[in-house]
Structures are given as C-alpha cells and as structure tokens.
Amino acid sequence: MITFIIPFAHPTVFKDYAVAAQNLELTLQTLSSQSSSKFNVVVVCNEIPSHKKFRNIHYHLVDFLPVNINNKYISKENKAADRVRLDKGTRLLSGYMYASSRFDSDYIFFADADDWFHKDLVLEMLSSTKEDIKYVNKSFLVNRKHLKFKVVYGMSRYCGSTVAYKTDAINRIMGNLTAIDMHSSNEKIWESVDVHLLKKLFGSHTYWLEFAEKYYLNYGEIDLMALCYVVANGSNDSGSESGNDGCSLNADLISNFSLGKHVDNNREEQSILCKFKHLIASKKSEITWNRSLKKNKMIY
C-alpha cells in the first residue's frame, strides 16, 4: 500500500485560492486514476475544496493558521522559505499521524498539491519494497502556461513530490512521536518534536540523501518517469518561465498522466534548435545528478 500525503495550505496563503483548488483537483485526478488500487491519498487542509469526488481520497481537516513570519521556530536567515517549510512540515506530520492510525502503508509518499502522477506509479513502487527510501529521478518539468515540457534528471532537487519513505525510516529519523497524534495543534507539534528535523524531513525534499547516509537507510530509484513537476500553474509564480524552451505537450504524456480533457495538446511544431537545447539541458541535469549521488548531497 502506498499512502500519498498532500499538504494544502490555508486558503489565505494562496495568490488565487480558486485556481489552487483546481490544481489540486487535477493532482487528485492523476492519483485516483492509478492502474493499481493499492493506494490512499490524504489531503491535509483547513477546508475541503468543492470539487468532484475521487476514489481513495481522504481529507484530514486541521485548524492550523498561517505561520507568523516572526514565529520563534523560523530561521532568521531566510524567513520566507523557512515559514513555508515549517507550515508544510507540520501539515505533513499531522497527515502522517492520521495515515498511521488508519492505513498499513508500505511507503509514505509526500506530494505537492499541484503536480501530476503517472498512472502506473503505484504499480511500479510496489514491484519492490526492499528500499527504505524511493525517489523520482528522471521525469518531466511542465510549464502549464506555455504547454511545454522538458526532461529533468535528479528531480528531487527541485520538486516536493519526489520522495517516499517507509514508516520505519520516518520513525528512525524523527524518534518517538507518542506525544502527538492526528488531533494535535501545530503548537503542540512544535513543542513535542525536533522542529529542525520536522522542517528537513517533512518540510523539504532535498535532505533525503543526507538522511540515508546518517541513518544507514538504503534507497532506490523509481524505475518510471513518474512525475510532472508543474510550474506557471496560476496559483503561484514559481518557475514561470522554466520549461518554456522545452517540447510541446503531446498525447502520450496526457494519456500516461490521465489528464484527459483537462489539459490541451500543444500542437506547435518544435524546431530542431529547440529540441537540441532541450537535449543539452537534460544531459546537463543528468551529469549534475550523478555527481550528487557520488557526493551524497544535492548538486545543481
């Protein structure tokens, strides 16, 4: 069983909540269309968005308010980014406590609320469950605004929907979590756990190599181009021009990610120069990712 946990921020945090809810709906569409039924999805949210119902989707309602920028648990060096990590990490940990009380999960997969997932992801992950950590390597970066995509290696350097842990691995890293449960307030969570670890394990997707080395965890790549990391999607400004130099979205990608009529083909013919630039950028990302694995740290 794979359990996906999605943190959906407080409605007031989004630039456009309606668009964010639409993006979440499309994410849930791709997850609920899995070829295997051995999965559950937990959405951690303040309110349930009004969209259609999907199979195996569960909503864990919390009353967490947006994190104050002057919160004592936020680093003074980079307050804006650390505030996001603290809120995201707290929601994911609460979702983890919810999932642990309800499901017998082989892996806990942390996922963002605006990415797309290949229909065979669960099937591929359950083909081998010997690794403590599974990660997405080669996948797609999609520019929603321009309907373009490009292939990126080492996707876990950039995207929050790329790492899955066995529950035993999470418990080894975080230690004793008996002081909290799925009903705990965010203040109770912060008082009861190592907040530094909370932000690194649950709030970030870039420290899993460090955890693997420190806690002697084995890891393996998910043998599938499993993910579309979606930017320029209207609910945030992240990477608005990333992937604009890529290839046009095509019918195969739309089918493999169960997007149906929700995303249009971009039938624009790609120039040879554009395809060449895409190939070079992809190769560069592969080289830097191979260096990351050798050094056991993220290299960009």
Structural domains in the chain, sorted by start: 2-295 (3.90.550.10)
Q: What is the rounded average pLDDT of the residues 226-242?
A: 77
b (16+ CB within 10 A) / e for 170-190: bebbbeebeebebebebeebb
Residues 6+ apart with CB under 8 A from 277: 245
> If pLDDT is split at 50, 70 and 90, which confidence band does 243 have?
low
pLDDT of 262 above 90: no
Percent of the chain at pLDDT above 70?
94
3-state secondary structure the chain: CEEEEEECCCHHHCCCHHHHHHHHHHHHHHHHCCCCCCEEEEEEECCCCCCCCCCCEEEEECCCCCCCCCCCCCCCCCHHHHHHHHHHHHHHHHHHHHHHHHCCCCEEEECCCCCEECCCHHHHHCCCCCCCEEECCCEEEEECCCCEEEEECCHHHCCCCCEEECHHHHHHHHCCCCCCCCCCCHHHHHHHCCHHHHHHHHCCCCCHHHHHHHCCCCEEECCCCCEEEEECCCCCCCCCCCCCCCEECCHHHHHHCCCHHHCCCCCCCCCHHHHHHHHHHHHHHHHHHHHHHHHCCCCC
pLDDT on residue 108: 98
Identify the pLDDT of residue 82: 94
pTM of the model: 0.93
Residue at token pair 């373009």:
148
Would you place residue 239 in the very low, low, confident or very high pLDDT band (cuts 50, 70, 90)? Answer: low
